[in-house]
Structure 1
Amino acid sequence: MELRVTGAGPAAPFLGARDVFETSHDLDHPVEVRVRENPDERTWAGHHDDHHVLNISRQAATSAMARELALHEFAHMHHHERDHPSHTFSMDEVLFLALTGREVERRVLTHCYQIANHVKDIYADDITLSVGPTDKLRSFLESELAAAVADQPVGRQQAGQRLTAGADPSMTAVNAAFAIALLERHDALPADHRLYDLAHAAGQDAPGVDVEAFRRRFVELGSDPDESECRRGLVDVIREYVDTHDTTTGPAAD
């Protein structure tokens, strides 16, 4: 796996992530890591015909989670190269199927894209957690969810971040279900872990969202889905989320 790091940041976390990733997987195309100054955008990946680009803020690149963030993005790249259905479905098609006959607020529509990202993240982390340790990710998810539950809902999640303080209570409840499901898929969450208490609190803040139902949907995502199964699962979870809000029948959302 060919890797090149540019920008004012350390190379060691990315080289370490590469070494861990290569114990079970590989990438056909080289990866360019670009360390950027913007601290508000943690990580995001770009895919091109002959290479991948991993963009990461310098703050994230120098954090304790740098290696794990890079490993997670390498997993996304692997799924992209292998045409995993979770990474190739048409979001327009999914939304058309899920939202036909419903009027949806722009805020809720934004959340639909975030739920789709959760599905992609779960499949990426099926790789990440199969080759790397779970302790740091578990602590990270706990910290982020605790902040989201504690803060007032004053804003939206930023694209590319799994959990964000101050998020909409409904989305925070879904995020809690995602965090628990992700770890449960890999038997990485003790029954008495604090994440369960935080998820309960998130559910109380959003009584219209059935946290357990969303947890179950994420846990039960097939490990090796075909395109139809993947699309159907995503349509169902988005439709369930939209139906928790005040929607009315009418034209499909744009």
Structure 2
Amino acid sequence: MDLKTCREIAWNGIWKQNTGIVQILGLCPILAISTNVVNAVSLGLATILVMALSNLTIAALRNFIPYEIRIPVFILIIAALVTVVDLSFNAWLHELYLVLGIFIPLIVTNCIVLARVEAFAAKNEPIGSTIDGIAMGIGLTLVLAVLGAIREVVGSGTLFSGIEMIFPSAQGIVLFGDDYPGFLVAVLPPGAFIALGFLIAGRNWLEARKQARARLQPPPPATPADTAANDAAEPA
């Protein structure tokens, strides 16, 4: 696999087919756990690890998995990897594990993971599949991070609240002082839907602007080879 193909796979996962704001998959964890940056990014990193390993494993075994039972086998592999991640969080990041709760085990049923396994890893070689899993996970994590930052700043007036669960010596940032009353809607599900809607609209606006600029650009000048080919194509 050449470098250009790797870049295309990565850009497709991070931006063109972003799971959160383009495919609109995995809304349950996106809306539920994005109340602050730490929770959102932590779940995103866990998802990246599961997606990368599941894509790698299934791409390596795809020729040995009978087509008729591929979905149960895919789910079994994903469940085993999620169990490893879940136990690792419980062992080394116990406080964060208690906060994330059921959402780590729910990665097994996340349609993002199974969709990429079925659509890409089951049909491509391991390196490209691993890059696809990482890129799709990064795209989801970026959406979670931005959404979590918006909701945390507006709703609580803080940033990186709970970072001490990962780095005991670190502390979150209080942006508006201790007397900030907060904005309850931002930390509730309606606030998550509104913020996600703005992210989707922003991405669509950027793409529309890019396409408009492309239409306004003049066509590239014809080369001598193009001119010769056009002359040859004209009837005598």
TM-score normalized with structure 1 length: 0.27
Q: Which has the higher helix share?
A: 2
**Which structure is larger by alpha-carbon Rg, 1 or 2?**
2
Structure with the bigger percentage of strand: 1
